[in-house]
Amino acid sequence: MTIKPAGHILTDETRHAIDAVKGCVTPIFDVNEKREAELLGSAVLIEIAEEFFLCTAKHVIDDNKDSILYTDGPAEFEILEGDFYASQKQDIAVLKLTAAQRRSFKKYKPLRADDIANQTQAAASKYAEFVGFPETRNRKVYKQNKIVGEIYAIGGMMLEATDAKVRVSFNRKRNIDAVTRKRVTSPDPHGMSGGAIFGIPMNATTIEGTPQPKLIGICTDWLESSPEIFGPNIAIAMAIIREGWQITLPLRLNPAHIKSRLIVIRPSA
């Protein structure tokens, strides 16, 4: 009988817990001059107050607002239309989905309010995983107008979680593969912008083998010279939803002290 070390058990359980929630992350595309799909970034589906929203990095939308954007529909790419509300100061944008758009994301599973962290829970996180679609793992499939569709999770220790920003340690050449536990070079995070940052506290529930990751931020930035990845706290998205669409948020998730000055970004259609 082989007894697993406690650290291995915790790694396994964390990986399984992330696998259970990563279905909320979806890719965003445009097409090149050959009409071939190209990955631009990632986005996170959430459900709040019985409404559905798509959260991503503002630069993924703003830098490509003159392009037609696409999402991964049930059978083919579908045009992403609508007005994104974005923070003037933070790199985050949110779109409220129509009923038809909700159906187009049926391959994905929106996060519910219970899976979203408030500031107390974000600040208590000791470990984080950022989840998205790295561009180097999602090139066009040969002779098919689609990308590989490989979602990837990269882990690191929490550095900081303020009510505005989440920072996670990251060394691309010294990452640990969650399955093999071998040191590996992780893929270039380009393409993971707009993806989810899940935080995990080191509390009794985690130690007992049932970690409960919660969405604490949206991944937006990595500088090659910097040993960290960071992005806005998910509280900024909650403020955008509250102020942009006059949504009554669950009390636990309502960042009353955060006021976002909003701009509107409308991709080409």
Per-residue pLDDT reduced to its tens digit, 34-71? 777 788 999 999 999 999 999 999 999 998 888 889 99
Per-residue pLDDT reduced to its tens digit, 110-119? 999 999 999 9
Strand order in the sheet with 37-48: 77-79, 70-72, 25-31, 37-48, 51-56, 93-96, 84-87, 262-265
179-197: average pLDDT: 75
Per-residue pLDDT reduced to its tens digit, 64-117? 888 889 998 888 888 999 999 999 999 999 999 999 999 999 999 999 999 999
CATH, domain range 6-265: 2.40.10.120
Name the CA radius of gyration of the chain, rounded.
Answer: 18
pTM of the entire predicted model: 0.89
* 3-class secondary structure, 119: helix
With beta carbons less than 8 A apart as the criterion, state whether 128 and 216 touch: yes
* 3-class secondary structure, 211: coil
Of 162, 174, 171, nearest to 199 by C-alpha is: 162
Looking at every residue in the chain, the average pLDDT score rounds to 86
